Structure 1
Amino acid sequence: MSKDWTKLYKKYKGLWVALDKDEVTVLGYGKTANEAVKKAQIKTNKTLFLTRIPKDLASYVGVI
């Protein structure tokens, strides 16, 4: 099932984000992946979903 990350993009664009298993709840964020994980580990010891939110959304349709 797809997730709507519109709110994540608006708030965290250009940053690394550590998400809970639901892939929506933010547990930590930062300029580096390590910073995001450290902030998340303060809140929980669960397995994290780590991703970088792009600064710009670029669409591509076509063939290379």
Structure 2
Amino acid sequence: MGIDWTKIQSKYRGLWVALADDEKTVVASGGSAKETYEQARKKGHQEAILTRMPEELTAYVGFGL
């Protein structure tokens, strides 16, 4: 089952976020990937997962080949 990021997206829309290993806990956020990564490292998260939250959520229906 996938991870639901809708609450994270609503709080951090348009921002870069660094996630802990559980892929649910935001450990840092910022306007750029570099800024966010540096904040996460200062907090002791050397290998945080970086992603940018979209401005809006859009539905996607499809399949892989």
| Residues 32, 6 of structure 1: alpha-carbon distance in 2 compared, 3 angstrom cutoff | same
Matched residue of 2:42: which SS?
helix
| C-alpha deviation, 1:46, in angstroms | 3.0
RMSD of the alignment, in Å?
A: 1.5
| C-alpha deviation, 1:47, in angstroms | 1.1
| C-alpha deviation, 1:60, in angstroms | 3.7
Q: 1:49 maps to what in 2?
A: 49
- Counting matched residue pairs gives 62
What is the distance in 2 between the residues matched to 1:60 and 1:23? 21
Q: Any unmatched runs of 5+ in structure 1?
A: none
Q: Any unmatched runs of 5+ in structure 2?
A: none
44-53 vs 31-40, greater mean Cα deviation:
44-53
Q: TM-score, normalising length from structure 2?
A: 0.82
Structure 1's consecutive aligned runs of 4 or more residues displaced over 3 angstroms after TM superposition are: none
Once the two structures are aligned, what percentage of the paired residues are identical? 48
What is the distance in 1 between the residues matched to 2:48 and 2:35? 13
